[in-house]
Amino acid sequence: MRSGFISCFLWSAKPPGFAATRGRFVFQRVIYAYETASSQTSVRPYRDRPRVKEDLPSFARDLLIAFGKSHAVRFLIALALVAGCTSKEPAKNNANGKVGGPVPVVTSPAIQKTVPVQIRAIGNMEPYSAVAIKTRVDGQIVRTHFSEGKDVLAGDLLFDLDPRDYEARLKQAEATLAQDQAQLEYSRAQEDRYQALFKEELVSRETYQQMKMNLESATAKIRVDQAAIESARLLLEYCQIRSPIGGRTGKILIQMGNMVKAIDDNPLVIINQISPIYVAFSVSEKHLDAIRKYKTLGTLKVQASVQQNGEVSALGKLEFIDNTVDNTTGMIKLKAAFPNKGKRFWPGQFANVALDLYEQKDAITIPSQALQVGPNGQYTFVVKPDLTVETRPVIVDRMNAEEAVIAKGLTAGETVVTLGQLRLSPGAKVLPKPARETP
């Protein structure tokens, strides 16, 4: 009685998409399981439970033993409802007899073209030259002639030191020179007079030699005074601190009013030349021979790109190969110079670097996303003329984020699937779509 009521209720309450064949089969198993379970005794400890009927379905028998009659019946009824839910219309078969129509996919042709053979690395921007501005004389900073973070040219005035002490030293040196010049004139007159007296044998040779030595000493002293004046002028010139290179100034590290000394280690400001700019990067020592080989044949081009509100890239040339391989990492350091006229690159930035060694002609390329990895290695789905797909093992020579160079397995013009591979199997019918659409 109870089982009949449940049967009528479940059959009348079946969902609209309940498939006739599959739903009826599962439903009958559920009713049969329920009727059989109803005749069993209540749940007891496992060792005291009676054996269930042998003709009870295996999944119902396991549920009855594990959970008891009431829980097992509820589960079986839910299972019947879920398993019977299908679409209102039966699924259509495709040409291969498989369920479903053609699978929409995005495709791309294998292209034969000339591609560069590159070595890729992560690099770091470095200033082309950097100067730490320091004072060469002691004094107080009385004026700053630039703003932080501004461009300066070679020779531009940066700082003024108090020049009064060095002006006084220059005047003192000039006065000493004037005094010694007067002494020189007197010594020259004395030498002339004693020379005449010596010729007339009115004075001794020793007396004349003394006068001559005084003249030479006064002449030498004039040269010392002139050197002192040049030194005083140079120290006075050092009170104006100028930029030795053109570049971008950083933060002012010692502000106006502070005393500075020539022996200080701390710079006043650091100037970086960023146009041109270096990109430093390291590559494995296994590439060293190839890099040296192709560098002797001509200039090696280097591409660098950074993410900066979109990708910013530039083309430069390799200028530096370090003279030592780092024995802890097995890497060798390289530097490439970039014009950086727009100053899009900045010291300290990280960049993706690609060093072009040579160009490979007639290479077969496909988009990187077309490659799949299976138990036997890499493969791709190839679309045949009848719009079915096959799996094609390929050997990849090299690849980057955008494309892969295929050494073996594809020919130019063949079409590969770049998007929608998860729904494909060998022989599946496909519906190719333009790359701008998503399957």
* Predicted pLDDT at 300: 94
Task: Judge whether residue 407 has pLDDT over 60.
Answer: yes
pTM of the predicted model over 0.85 = no
271-361 topology per CATH: Elongation Factor Tu (Ef-tu); domain 3 (2.40.30)
Structure tokens given for 223: 């040269």
Strand stretches in 10-110, DSSP E:
103-109
Residue 1 one-letter amino acid: M
The pLDDT, as a whole number, for residue 201 is 85
Kindly state the helix (H) or strand (E) to which residue 204 belongs, with its residue range: none
Classify domain 103-110+371-433 at the CATH topology level.
2.40.420
C-alpha span between 134 and 126 (Å, rounded): 21
Q: What average pLDDT does this structure show over 393-404?
A: 88
Contact between 17 and 86 (Cβ < 8 Å)? yes
Q: What average pLDDT does the segment 290-295 reach?
A: 94
What is d(CA 332, CA 337) in angstroms, rounded to the nearest whole number? Answer: 17
- Cis peptide before 432, with omega less than 30 degrees from 0? no
Q: What is the mean pLDDT of the chain?
A: 82
- Dump pLDDT digits (tens) for 62-98: 555 555 555 545 555 555 544 544 444 444 444 444 5
The reported pLDDT for the residue numbered 399 is: 84
Say if CB 269 and CB 158 are below 8 A apart. yes
Give the per-residue pLDDT at 61: 55
Question: How many whole angstroms separate alpha carbon 356 and alpha carbon 191?
Answer: 79
| Torsion angles phi and psi, residue 218, rounded to 5 | -65, -35
Which range is least confidently modeled, 161-175, 194-208, 304-318? 304-318
Predicted pLDDT of residue 135: 95
- 244-274 pLDDT, tens digit each: 999 999 999 999 999 999 989 999 999 999 9
Could you state, in order of their start, the residue ranges of all structural domains in the chain?
A: 2-83, 103-110+371-433, 163-238, 271-361
**Arithmetic mean of pLDDT, 99-127:** 90
Cα–Cα dist 421/402, whole Å = 18
- Has domain 163-238 been given CATH number 3.40.640.10? no
Position 122 confidence tier, pLDDT thresholds 50, 70, 90: very high
Q: Mean of the pLDDT values across residues 129-153?
A: 95
Please report the pLDDT score of residue 202 as a whole number.
87
pLDDT of residue 138 exceeding 80, the answer is yes
> Taking a C-beta distance cutoff of 8 angstroms, is the pair 145, 159 a contact?
yes
Q: Does residue 121 register a pLDDT over 60?
A: yes
